[in-house]
Amino acid sequence: MTLTTSIRDGFAVVGIEGRLTASGAKRFRETIQRLIAEGTSRVVIDFAEASFVDSSGLGALVGSLKDARLAGGDLRIAAVPDPVRSVLRLTNLDRVLRCHETPDSAFDGQ
């Protein structure tokens, strides 16, 4: 798994390439925590290049969502491919983590 980060107007975008699984969940979570500690609590996860998320990855997403909200921000997801969207639906996390078409549209209208 490869992670990229960029700061946009008022929020950060974390791109995931590959599989968000147990082997990368800790690094993913630490990346989000670092962004929050640096003052960026509004975060979009860009799944455009992601291929799979397992239970550890889901746990990292939920934990990061909690961290962002506790810091007064939010965590949103964008460009979610069908295999990842299916996992979110099966676990009902699509109700908590709403999918947006693009990272730039995730915070439209706040």
pLDDT band at 98 (very low <50, low <70, confident <90, very high): confident
Does the residue 26 lie in any domain?
Answer: yes
Does the residue 96 lie in any domain?
Answer: yes
The CATH number that applies at residue 56 is: 3.30.750.24
pLDDT of residue 73: 97
Residue 52 lies in domain: 2-105
Does the residue 110 lie in any domain?
Answer: no
pLDDT of residue 71: 98
Structural domain total, the chain: 1
The pTM of the full predicted model, rounded to 2 decimals, is 0.95
Mean per-residue pLDDT of the chain: 96
- Position 109 pLDDT exceeds 80: no
Percentage of the chain surpassing pLDDT 70?
A: 98
Mapping DSSP onto H, E and C, the string for the chain reads CEEEEEECCCCEEEEEEEEECHHHHHHHHHHHHHHHHCCCCEEEEEEEEEEEECHHHHHHHHHHHHHHHHCCCEEEEECCCHHHHHHHHHCCHHHCCCEECCHHHCCCCC
